[in-house]
Amino acid sequence: MRKGLVPGRGFNLARLGNREISVLSNLQRITLFMLKSERGCYVRSLRLAELLKQSKLLGTGSFLFILTLVILIGLSHVTYAAETGGGGLGAGIDPSVENPYPDLLLETEDGLAGPDLLDDDPYLSEPEEVLGDPIFEDDFVFNVPPPNIFDPLEPVNRAIFVFNDKVYFWVLKPTKNVYSFVLPQDIRRSIGNAFANLAAPIRFLNNVLQGEFEDAGAVLSRFAINSTLGVFGFGDPAYVDFDIEPRLADFGQTLGKWSIGEGFYICLPFLGPSNVRDSVGFLGDVYMHPVPYFSESLTFDMAYLGVSRINLISISPDVYEELKRISLDPYVAARQAYYDYRRSEINP
């Protein structure tokens, strides 16, 4: 009995001899050759089966079965090529018919007709142009991955992430629960509308800086309607009655639209995920907010920021807790979610 074949124990590749390894290597080359070429299907089928027989890894019954199977596969390739014509197998049968299913491994003067799907980066952007049929789109469309996240301060960021996690569960969440218990959801939503209305100058200026003048006009219209008909912004008749949707924009997004790089990742105390560009953008938004200009007290400004934060958490889904529940590494998951969101805002 040959090495590598143990009755009742299956096939052990580690126990194969040099002859069997050589045969399997030749078998791999012939199989790839069958896939890449379009002529001599019968000859390659017989050579494939003969190699299997010579290797003595198969009995007579298995040899006949695989020989029949390989010949049928070769016949199916010839039949399929005759039906489709063109650049696939059997292309010379009817060159007048354009083949909607080209042979992606057919070599041309410029190289392969299609992309090398075994390459390290087999990215396709137009599957119908390469594959000939949108049916392959779900299987063969690969998007170029986003740039890597630069996180040189990861140990420090992880420590701050743990600190923010404790602040959330020990302070913010209990405060949010009490706040939600005292105020009904409708009132909290009205307060959220008022906070958003007061921040309208931030969205207006950033839409102008981004060249989105239509969105800037929508922001200005919403501010005028909600400040009057909406009773100082507590209502949202601009959306309910006039169907004017909110247009979000911030200075970090503006910097991104200006092609300024993200910089490295930063996890800010109390504020959470950010990066160098968005941290600068946050400071810019603070200067654009009208409330500090009408307040001479830093305590009032901090109280305003805290209440707006608690109110926002109370009317938003518990995304953070769900992210912690389903992720193996909440720090990495939160960082990736933040970057995915911000990049989608800048390059929708």
SS3 assignment, position 172: helix
Q: How far is CA 292 from CA 24, 248, 301, in A?
A: 76, 21, 6
249 in the same domain as 264: yes
Domain containing residue 55: 5-111
Q: How far is CA 58 from the centre of its chain?
A: 46
Residues 263 and 277 sit within 8 Å (Cβ to Cβ) = yes
The pLDDT score that the predictor gives to residue 292 is: 86
**Are 140 and 85 contained in the same domain?**
no
SS3 196: helix
- The pLDDT value recorded for residue 11 is 45
Residue 338 and residue 319: Cα distance in Å, rounded?
12
What is the number of structural domains in the chain?
3
Q: What token pair was written down for 215?
A: 């969105």
Give the domain-ending residue among 93, 125, 145. 145
Tell me the whole-structure pTM to 2 decimals.
0.59
Say yes or no: 91 and 14 in one domain: yes
> How many other β-carbons are positioned within 10 Å of the β-carbon of residue 249?
24
Q: Could you give the C-alpha distances from 60 to 12, 13, 25, 57, in angstroms and in order?
A: 21, 21, 22, 10
Q: What is the pLDDT of residue 295?
A: 81
Is the same domain home to 177 and 270?
A: yes
Same domain for 161 and 297, yes or no, is: yes
For residues 130 and 234, membership in a common domain is answered with no
Q: Which of 128, 145, 162 is the last residue of a domain?
A: 145
> pLDDT truncated to tens, each residue of the chain (348 aa)?
444 444 444 445 455 555 555 555 555 555 555 544 444 555 555 565 566 555 555 556 665 666 666 566 555 555 544 554 444 444 444 444 455 545 544 555 555 445 555 555 555 555 554 455 555 455 444 555 667 889 999 999 999 999 999 999 999 999 999 999 999 999 999 999 999 999 999 999 999 999 999 999 999 999 999 999 989 889 999 999 999 999 999 999 999 999 899 999 999 999 999 999 999 999 999 999 998 888 888 888 888 988 999 999 998 888 889 899 998 999 999 999 999 999 988 887
Same domain for 138 and 240: no
**Are 106 and 120 in a shared domain?**
no
Compute how many other C-beta atoms are within 10 angstroms of the C-beta atom of residue 148. 7
What was the pLDDT predicted at 338? 93
Structure tokens at 83: 């039906």
The CA-atom distances, in angstroms, between 229 and each of 188, 222, 246, 332 are 19, 10, 16, 45
5 DSSP β-pair partners: 11
Please state, in angstroms and rounded to a whole number, the distance separating the CA atoms of residues 19 and 5. Answer: 14
d(CA 233, CA 239): 12
165 & 295 share domain:
yes
Q: Which of 123, 145, 167 is the last residue of a domain?
A: 145
Pair (159, 297) in one structural domain: yes
- Give the pLDDT score at 296: 80
Residues 45 and 135 in one domain: no
Radius of gyration in angstroms for the set of CA atoms belonging to the chain, rounded to a whole number? 32
Query: Which residues, 6+ apart, have CB-to-CB distance to 284 below 8 Å?
Result: 251, 252
One domain, residues 186 and 302: yes
